[in-house]
Amino acid sequence: MSTRGPRLVLLGKQGAGKGTQASRIAEHYDVAHLSTGDLFREAAAAHSELGLAAKDYMDRGDLVPDETVVGVVEEQLNHDYRIRRGFVLDGFPRTRRQAEELHRILEGHPLDLAIDLDVPTEIVLKRIAGRRVCSECGTVYHVDQPPTSSVGTASGPSTDSGRRSHSSPAGDWKCDVCGGQVVQRDDDTEEAVMRRLELYEIETLPVIQFYRRTGALAHVDGSAESDEVFKKLVETVESRLDREKP
Ligand code: AMP
């Protein structure tokens, strides 16, 4: 493994598994996992000014305005230490302008890779329809997997306090990790999901083109089983970091 942590962006449609994989990669390399979606959800739950500003956009499946998002990311990355040590950005950049602003913020410490986690639309639609999240800690579950307590195979809490996807929570839909209520995301309604996919085509495909031009783009097939996708992601990152070694 390389001696320094990577500076990564994870791109992909909603439901592609960005949150889950970003959390695993950040843990693997011991770098920060920054999810703009999580930051906005936390702010909305805390009824902060930022949360109130973002919530309506989120519930409709619309994008929060660029100035707001860039401000939040800049604040999070505005520690030289974090930029040098590495990070995984999840859900940002989502527009061409955000990609350009990120380039400015990182001045002198360019991204190692922007990885497009590629999953066909019919698969992400299925994943999102069954997705449930803990309203407290954000752990992701899926309705297709039976609650651990009801089938007698409880494996105990995950050691990953972040977004790793694992079996459904115990019978009453309390989170295995923190005991919080497990719910459907406000923006996982059919209408909002269709809007987010539409915006992905319009706003986020140009981001992929942007990174293709800068030479930072890599593709990983995100439709395989989670562990396999993770392995492929790490291989992709390692080969890039090896190539950059002096
Ligand atoms: P996510 O959890 O990444 O699907 O984000 C949930 C919602 O937060 C999105 O549908 C947007 O409303 C908002 N959001 C998150 N990241 C961004 C971003 N980079 N730009 C604009 N809006 C964002």
* DSSP calls for 55-100: HHHHHHTPPPPHHHHHHHHHHHH--HHHHHH-EEEES---SHHHHH
**164 classed as catalytic:** no
Q: Is the pLDDT of residue 156 over 50?
A: no
Residues with CB under 6 A from ligand 1: 14, 36-37, 40, 57-58, 61-64, 69, 91-92, 94, 98, 187, 196
Structural domains in the chain plus CATH codes: 7-119+217-244 (3.40.50.300)
Alpha carbons 223 and 188: distance in angstroms, whole number: 20
Ligand 1 centre from 72 Cα, in Å? 12
Quote the ligand 1 centre to 63 CA distance (angstroms): 6
Cα atoms found within 13 Å of the Cα of residue 141, Cβ hemisphere only: 28
Report phi then psi at 133, rounded to 5: -130, 150
pLDDT > 60? residue 6 = yes
Active site residue 196: yes
Q: 185 catalytic, yes or no?
A: yes
Residue 168: what pLDDT?
45
Q: How confident is the model at residue 3 (pLDDT cuts 50, 70, 90)?
A: low
Tell whether the model's pLDDT for residue 170 goes beyond 70: no
Respond yes or no: is residue 104 known to be catalytic.
no
Pocket test for ligand 1, best of 13, 50, 63 (most atoms within 8 A of CB): 63
Distance, CA 229 to ligand 1 centroid (Å)? Answer: 23
pLDDT at 201 over 80: yes
pLDDT digits (tens, 9 = 90+) for 82-116: 777 899 999 999 999 999 999 999 988 899 999 99
Q: What is the pTM of this model?
A: 0.83
Q: Which atom of ligand 1 is nearest to the CA of 18?
A: 3
Active site residue 94: yes
Lowest mean pLDDT among 1-10, 151-160, 211-220: 151-160
What are the E-state strand segments in the chain? 7-11, 32-35, 87-90, 113-118, 131-134, 140-142, 182-183, 217-221
